Every structure is written in structure tokens, then in C-alpha cells.
């Protein structure tokens, strides 16, 4: 029988009476039932058919809804704290303003759900799927979202502070202005995610796939992007001071007008990347690959470029004073107007590089 034509097994009054007697409603057919504003704390709805049910403003705290079908149900403003919704089918459910803190939604399906102003703090969404979920200002701090799937979700200004999101999928998600500070997204897929203007302080993106991600204007000091794939990503205008990009793939990435002071970019691959007018003061580029990268008008003073591969790199007008280029390859680099004062070029390869217009005060030149 189709949900839109189905009749509920019980009336609202019968449901409330069974709840008062402590009787289970597990597996009941309650399609389109209306229990708006009712006290349903601790009720047993496990495996029940609750499609299109109306729980607006109801209290379902501590309820058992495991494996229930809540497709297109309305829980707007409902209290569902500490409830069990594991393996629950919640396609198209309206959770706007609902409180589900500390609830168990592991392996639940929330595709196309409405999550605006929803409170999922400290909740478990491990293995849950919420593709195309939408709503601004979702509260999901300290939640467990490991191996969850939020592909193409629209969650602007969401709060995922301190959340565990290991091996999750947020590809093509829109999360601009969100706060993921202290969250762990190790080995997650974030291809084409929109994190423009996000706060990512001390967040972990180790081994994450972030191809063509939009991280423009993000505040990300102390974040860890080690071994991540940021090919073609846009990090321009952001604050990434003291971030770790060690071993990251950053070819063709855009890092213009950003703050990368004291970043660890050692062993990273930045071929053909654009990082013009940015600050890399005291950054580490040890053994990094900067072939054909655009680093015009950058502040790179006091940086460690030991063994860096910089052939064809455009350093026009940049400040590289006091930096270490020992064993670096600067072949055919553009260094017009570049400041190498007090820099150490000992052991550097400079074949085809013209230093005629460079500033070389107290510079240590290559031997031979």
C-alpha cells in the first residue's frame, strides 16, 4: 500500500495511552499520524512506518526509533535528545530547529533532509548518509561523522567544531562560512567542496582529497594538510599561518594574497601553482617541487628552500632575503627585482638564471 493512501494502525489517543502503559509500538503502521506538541519521551517506535508523520514541537527525547521509516516526516522544532535513530530512513525529513544532541543516527539515511538550525551536537552520524541535505547554521560540534556521506549537501555556516569526520564524503558540499576548527577529516573526500570564508583552525585534513576545493578567505591557522591532494584548489586570501602541507599535492593550486607564514611545505608538489603577493616568511620548502610556480611579489624572507626544485619559477619582485637555497635548483628562474640579501645560495643550481636585476647584498653565492 502506498504511504499516501495508508491508514495508521492507531489513533493519536491510542498511541498516547500505549505510551503511558509502557507498551511498544515497534513495527506499527503510523503513516501520516499527527502527534504535534505531544510528550513522547522514551516511546518505542522501533521499525515503525512513520512516513509523513507530524511531530512538530513534540518531545521524543530518549525515544527508540531504530530502523523506523521517517521519510518526509515533520520534526520541526522537536526535541529528540538522546534518542536512537540508527539505520532510520529519514529521506526528506524536516529537522529544522530540532534538537537531536547526543542522539544515535548511525547509518541513518537523511538524503534531501532539512537541517537548518538543527542541533546534532555530540550526536553519532557514523556511516550516515545525508546527500543533498540543506539548511544553514547546523550545530554538529563534537559529533561523530566518521564515514558519513554529505555529498552535495548545502550547509552554510554550520558548526562542526571538534567533530570526528574521518573518511567522510563532503564532495561538492557547500559549507561556506562554516566552522570546522579542531575537527578531524583524515582521508576524507572533499572534492570541489565550498569552504569559502570558513574557520578551520587546527583542523586535520591529513591524506584528504581536496581536488579543486574552494577554501578562499578561510582562517586555517595550525591546520594539518599533510599528504592531502589539493590539486587545483583555491586557497587565495586565506590565513594559513603555521599550517602543515608536508608532502601535499598542490599542483595548479591558487594561493594568491594569502598568509602562509611559518608553514611546513616541505616535500610538497606545487608545480604550476600561483601564489602571487603572498607571505611565506620563515616557511619550509625543503625538497618541495616548485617548478614553473608563480611566486611574484611574495614575502619569502627567512625561508628554508634546501633542495627545492624551482626551475622556471617566477620570483619577480619577491623578497627572499635571509633564505636558504642550499642545493636548490633555480635554473631558468625569473628573479628580476628579487631580493636575495643575506640569502645562502651555496650549492644552488642557477643555470640560465639572470641575477642582473636582483638584490644580492651579503649573499652567499654558489661555488664555481
Mean pLDDT in residue range 325-339: 96
101-113 pLDDT per residue, tens: 999 999 999 999 9
Mean pLDDT in residue range 86-110: 98
| pLDDT for residue 368 | 52
Under 8 Å between Cβ of 301 and 324: no
Q: How many Å apart are CA 176 and CA 216, to the nearest integer?
A: 9
Q: Is it the case that residue 2 has pLDDT exceeding 90? A: no
Mean pLDDT in residue range 108-120: 98
Q: 151: closest CA among 166, 126, 165, 131?
A: 131
Cell of 145: 561523522
CB burial string 266-304: b at 16+ within 10 A, e below: bbbbbbbbbbbbbbbbbbbbbbbbbbbbbbbbbbbbbbb
Q: How many Å apart are CA 280 and CA 120, to the nearest integer?
A: 38
Under 8 Å between Cβ of 34 and 55: no
> Could you tell me what percent of the chain has a pLDDT over 70?
98
Mean pLDDT rounded to a whole number for the chain: 96
Q: Is it the case that residue 7 has pLDDT exceeding 80? A: no
* 269 phi-psi bin (left φ>0, alpha ψ -120 to 50, beta other): beta
Question: How far is C-alpha 279 from the chain's CA centre?
Answer: 24
334-353 pLDDT per residue, tens: 999 999 999 999 999 999 99
Q: Is it the case that residue 4 has pLDDT exceeding 90? A: no
Confidence of residue 242 (pLDDT cuts 50, 70, 90): very high
Amino acid at each position: 500500500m502506498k504511504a499516501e493512501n495508508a491508514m495508521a494502525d492507531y489513533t493519536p489517543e491510542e498511541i498516547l495511552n500505549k505510551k503511558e502503559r509502557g507498551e511498544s509500538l515497534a513495527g506499527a503502521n503510523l503513516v501520516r499520524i499527527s502527534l504535534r506538541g505531544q510528550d513522547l519521551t522514551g516511546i518505542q517506535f522501533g521499525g515503525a512506518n512513520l512516513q509523513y508523520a507530524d511531530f512538530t514541537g513534540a518531545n521524543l527525547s530518549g525515544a527508540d526509533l531504530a530502523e523506523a521509516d521517517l521519510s518526509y516526516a515533520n520534526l520541526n522544532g522537536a526535541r529528540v535528545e538522546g534518542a536512537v535513530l540508527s539505520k532510520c530512513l529519514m529521506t526528506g525529513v524536516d529537522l529544522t530547529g530540532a534538537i537531536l544532541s547526543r542522539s544515535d543516527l548511525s547509518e541513518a539515511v537523511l538524503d534531501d533532509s532539512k537541517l537548518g538550525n538543527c542541533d546534532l551536537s555530540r550526536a553519532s552520524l557514523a556511516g550516515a548518509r545525508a546527500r543533498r541535505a540543506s539548511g544553514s547554521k547546523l550545530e554538529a560540534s563534537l559529533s561523530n561523522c566518521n564515514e558519513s556521506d554529505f555529498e552535495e549537501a548545502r550547509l552554510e555556516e554550520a558548526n562542526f567544531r571538534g567533530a570526528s569526520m574521518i573518511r567522510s564524503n563532503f564532495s561538492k558540499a557547500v559549507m561556506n562560512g562554516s566552522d570546522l576548527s579542531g575537527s578531524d577529516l583524515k582521508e576524507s573526500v572533499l572534492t570541489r567542496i565550498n569552504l569559502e570564508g570558513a574557520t578551520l583552525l587546527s583542523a586535520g585534513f591529513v591524506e584528504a582529497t581536496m581536488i579543486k576545493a574552494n577554501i578562499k578567505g578561510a582562517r586555517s591557522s595550525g591546520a594539518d594538510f599533510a599528504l592531502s591532494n589539493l590539486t587545483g584548489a583555491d586557497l587565495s586570501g586565506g590565513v594559513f599561518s603555521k599550517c602543515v602541507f608536508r608532502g601535499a599535492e598542490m599542483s595548479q593550486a591558487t594561493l594568491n594574497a594569502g598568509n602562509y607564514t611559518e608553514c611546513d611545505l616541505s616535500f610538497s608538489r606545487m608545480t604550476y601553482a600561483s601564489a602571487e603577493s603572498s607571505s611565506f616568511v620563515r616557511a619550509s620548502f625543503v625538497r618541495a617541487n616548485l617548478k614553473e610556480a608563480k611566486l611574484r611579489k611574495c614575502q619569502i624572507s627567512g625561508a628554508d628552500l634546501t633542495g627545492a626544485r624551482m626551475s622556471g619559477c617566477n620570483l619577480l619582485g619577491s623578497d627572499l632575503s635571509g633564505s636558504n637555497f642550499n642545493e636548490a635548483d633555480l635554473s631558468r628562474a625569473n628573479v628580476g627585482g628579487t631580493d636575495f640579501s643575506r640569502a645562502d645560495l651555496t650549492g644552488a643550481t642557477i643555470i640560465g638564471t639572470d641575477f642582473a636585476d636582483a638584490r644580492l647584498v651579503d649573499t652567499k653565492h654558489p661555488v664555481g
